[in-house]
Chain A
Amino acid sequence: EYEEKTGRAHRPLSPKQNVRKNLDFEPLSTTALILEDRPANLPAKPAEEAQKHRQQYEEMVVQAKKRELKEAQKRKKQLEERCKLEDSIGNAVLTWNNEILPNWETMCCSRKVRELWWQGIPPSVRGKVWSLAIGNELNITHELYDICLSRAKEKWRSLSTGGAEVECEDAGFSAADREASLELIKLDISRTFPNLCIFQQGGPYHDTLHSILGAYTCYRPDVGYVQGMSFIAAVLILNLDTADAFIAFSNLLNKPCQMAFFRVDHGLMLTYFAAFEVFFEENLPKLFAHFKKNNLTPDIYLIDWIFTLYSKSLPLDLACRVWDVFCRDGEEFLFRTALGILKLFEDILTKMDFIHIAQFLTKLPEDLPSEEFFTSIAAIQMQSRNKKWAQVKRILIFENR
């Protein structure tokens, strides 16, 4: 019975299919083109016309064939490029794992490594490279992380049970202040990369992010939790194991620039902005003048960029590449990146007024072209009248005293 059914489904070839069968090549895009004789109830085409139609049909098929061949070649090329890219990433992973990482101290500053570094660190070794480059000046151990975490957990417990006996060993920081911090952490975790859906309640990294931020407020109660930190911790969590992420987080925040910002040391922040403006004027004098004319001060856009290390304002893959070089070159690169962004959009920005520049820079386009972006950063000279970033900063700090 089954055979009968399937047998019935096998109808004899239709005349159309017969026509097609004669063609040795059938381009997909011409499947709708059918060369047929006129139905029997109509007078037949004159031989001349039939000949002409056949010719036209063949021309169309040839054109389509050409086009499809071209497309196939393009696809092949794209595939080859992707393979090449994957190969180069694969090769880079090998180079990082087999050559650079085992000989870190001697190799990390070589020209070859610096160049490879600029290309972007392959995601599989990124965390390791960041850890090594950030270092562990604070000598934080995994045990210390556990201690800080268990303290944080105690505090959460005593808060949730409403216990008033919060230890007062961190004198000077009111219980209310710390409570606000812990509350705020909870609130901000769900607002950290919400579109990734991994840090939100129930997501795989929710507790990890909570733990690292909580442990940090116990490790550095004088700094506490400051908005923006959740983004930094989240980027580290994406690339490192929890305790290592905590170590990198604490050491990263301990760098002079990050300390100045996260303690909201206003005077020092202004010094950083002033140093930035020296290089801004040097690199982009026209845009600098335009910003001055419009009263557009660097705090308007730099605060968000520096506090979150670009992780909130750039697409995540670009932000990670900025982090790569930031880990290599230090704070200077954060300001160089800012200038790179300004340079990339210089033409648009010079046509805008204050509020539109402010709006644009605090919400950058989502489709930032990565190669152009890094070319633009590379074109920024961090040298002003023979002075480098660190020197300019030192002079300004000295003058501000």
Chain B
Amino acid sequence: ISRNTMPGTSLEGIHPTYIYKVVLLGSTSVGKSSLAYRYVKNDFKESLPTVGCSFFTQTLNLEAATIKFEIWDTAGQEKYHSVCHLYYRGAHAALLVYDITNKETLNRAKLWLRDLEKEFLPDEIVIGLVGNKTDLAAEREVATEEGKEFARTKGLLFMETSAKSNHQVNDIFMAIAQELLQREREKTSIPSPHGWSTVNLGESGVRTRCC
């Protein structure tokens, strides 16, 4: 856990730095790598199939804090499922990505959610549902409402994106960042039974299972 934490650098406690691990999960070829690539490099190119996991970093300088995202971009093929299991351990946020032109991929995203629910308590992880490939609107199989409704019932962030045409890619990561920051603030205002959460403003890695 220690590598996910970092005390605030400048003006301790006033402008802290948080390191967050974000894991991208979803079926093969829904655009996980492309989303990460668009977000980090602001570019689009055809990605090679991911075997295992690939990694990206992105730093966000916000008014309230500096956020360093460590993005874990996992392999999509179902056969790699047991391997990906290794990768979401200790994640602060997860993006469940599906392809709006392929209904089956939304079902897979729902399965991923079930896995995450087994591993994490609701306050331990921020989860976003992402319907990618809005540039292929003509081939759409999943209505926006369907994704939105599912996300609402499960309390997930939701956005439809296009890594190709750069639609709402920054927005979903920004929404994740804001939600994580909000949770940091809540954590510090409600003292945990351990009585240390107020002290550890800068230590995002410390998560308690109590509240």
* Interface residues of A, dominant DSSP: helix
Pairwise interchain contact A362-B52, C-beta atoms closer than 8 A? yes
Nearest residue, chain B, Cβ from A355: B70
Q: How many A residues touch the partner, as a band?
A: 20 to 34
Give complex CA distance A295, B76 in Å. 24
Pairwise interchain contact B82-A266, C-beta atoms closer than 8 A? yes
Residues of A within 8 A of B48 (CB): 191-192, 194, 312
Interface string of B50-72 (1 = CB under 8 A from A): 11111111000000000000100
Interface string of B77-95 (1 = CB under 8 A from A): 1111111001000000000
Assess whether A188 is interfacial by the CB under 8 Å rule: yes
Pairwise interchain contact A184-B28, C-beta atoms closer than 8 A? yes
| Of B3, B47, B53, the contact of A362 (CB 8 Å cutoff) | B53
Pairwise interchain contact B83-A264, C-beta atoms closer than 8 A? yes
* Interface residues of B, dominant DSSP: mixed
Residue count of chain B within 8 Å CB distance of chain A: 27
Give complex CA distance A180, B51 in Å. 17
Would you give the shortest CB distance from A281 to chain B, in whole angstroms? Answer: 20
Residues of B within 8 A of A191 (CB): 46-49
Pairwise interchain contact A303-B52, C-beta atoms closer than 8 A? yes
Assess whether B29 is interfacial by the CB under 8 Å rule: yes
Would you give the shortest CB distance from A306 to chain B, in whole angstroms? Answer: 9
Question: Beyond A187-B29, A191-B46, A266-B82, is A295–B51 a contact (Cβ under 8 Å)?
Answer: no
Residues of A within 8 A of B29 (CB): 184, 187
Give complex CA distance A240, B2 in Å. 49
Pairwise interchain contact A300-B80, C-beta atoms closer than 8 A? no
Give complex CA distance A264, B55 in Å. 21
Most buried by A among B53, B76, B77, B79: B79
Stretch at the interface among A208-216, A221-229, A336-344: A221-229
| Of B53, B57, B79, the contact of A300 (CB 8 Å cutoff) | B53
Residues of B within 8 A of A294 (CB): 3
| Of A307, A356, A362, the contact of B54 (CB 8 Å cutoff) | A362
Give complex CA distance A190, B47 in Å. 10
Question: Beyond A226-B77, A227-B49, A227-B51, is A359–B56 a contact (Cβ under 8 Å)?
Answer: yes
Q: List 21 A-B contacts (CB under 8 A).
A: A184-B28, A184-B29, A184-B77, A187-B28, A191-B47, A192-B48, A224-B79, A226-B79, A227-B50, A227-B77, A228-B49, A269-B83, A299-B83, A303-B53, A312-B48, A312-B51, A354-B70, A355-B55, A359-B56, A362-B53, A363-B54
